[in-house]
Amino acid sequence: MRKKNYKGAKCTKRYVNKCDDVCKTYDAIQYVYANLLSETEEVKSFQVNVLLQGLEEGAYTSDFVITKADGNLMVRECVSRKHLTKPMTTKLLDVSRNYWKSHGVSDWGIVIEEGGRHMNKADMRKGMLLKGKVGAEEKIYRVLDLKEKVLVLDYVKKTMPVWKTYEELSDCVEKEEETRAEAIDIIDVMEGESRKTAYQRYNMISGILPFLSEESMRIEAIKRV
């Protein structure tokens, strides 16, 4: 559930099987759930971001209004696990449930992301792997350094490290460590130029990565490249 014409996140627009119109999603939970609905036999069709008419609280939309194969409706609201206990979230979910109940819809529920302990500053440590959604894309990061921000390396694409805020990584969970062979396998499944570029970039920066947070040692490592 979100405000009509929500501007707080990038909107992903695409055509999805069984969606009555262009499927517009604003977070990873919506994106993944739309895919699930499109593959579910019990679902005939669904709508996304459906306006709740005449609410005293303002113009809000429900995330999914779904027509089941038997013709009955069900409604699902997408909520991030970390927002479940927030008073405003609870209030809006109650508003949605009561609205649809008054319209004869009893099959109402919420959709949350998969379980897992989300990261905060105290959880972070150098060398750990983080897995999480960035928009609609799943990312795997290697934590290289911890200061006011977190220095991370894209573990799949092997692009240059970037600094991320702790807030940007708060939805990530710790990923189980892979062997070096498994990490190389990730690159090996890439095709053509993408695989070649990934290897080139990684080989270029691999000798520098251990010294990124130590300026003098980093300079020396760069000189040897």
Rounded mean pLDDT of 23-30?
A: 87
pLDDT score of 7: 66
Please report the pLDDT score of residue 127 as a whole number: 83
Mean pLDDT of 200-204: 59
Residues in the chain: 225
Residue 118 φ/ψ, nearest 5 degrees:
-80, 155
Q: Is the pLDDT of residue 91 over 50?
A: yes
Region(s) of the chain under CATH 3.40.1350.10? 2-111
Instruction: Please give the share of the chain, as a percent, with pLDDT higher than 70.
Output: 70
What are the tokens at 60? 């809000």
Across 198-215, average pLDDT: 56
The pLDDT assigned to 196 comes to: 60
The predicted structure's pLDDT at residue 57: 77
- For residues 51 and 182, which has the higher predicted lDDT (pLDDT)? 51
Whether the pLDDT of residue 98 is over 90: the answer is yes
pTM: 0.54
pLDDT band at 183 (very low <50, low <70, confident <90, very high): very low
- What's the pLDDT at 114? 65
Q: Sign of the C-alpha dihedral, residues 85, 88, 89, 95?
A: positive
Residue 27 confidence class, pLDDT cut points 50, 70, 90:
confident
What is the predicted pLDDT for the residue at 187? 43
The residues with which 115 forms a beta bridge, in sequence order, are none
Cα(111)–Cα(144) distance, rounded to whole angstroms?
A: 33
Least confident of 105-114, 166-175, 178-187: 178-187
Residues 6+ apart with CB under 8 A from 115: 81
Topology at the third CATH level for domain 2-111 = Trna Endonuclease; Chain: A, domain 1 (3.40.1350)
**Residue 219 vs residue 104, higher pLDDT:** 104
Q: What is the mean pLDDT of residues 192-207?
A: 59
- Region 160-167 average pLDDT: 84
- Contacts of 140-143 with C-beta under 8 Å, sequence gap 24+, read 140/175, 141/169, 141/172
Per-residue pLDDT at 144:
87
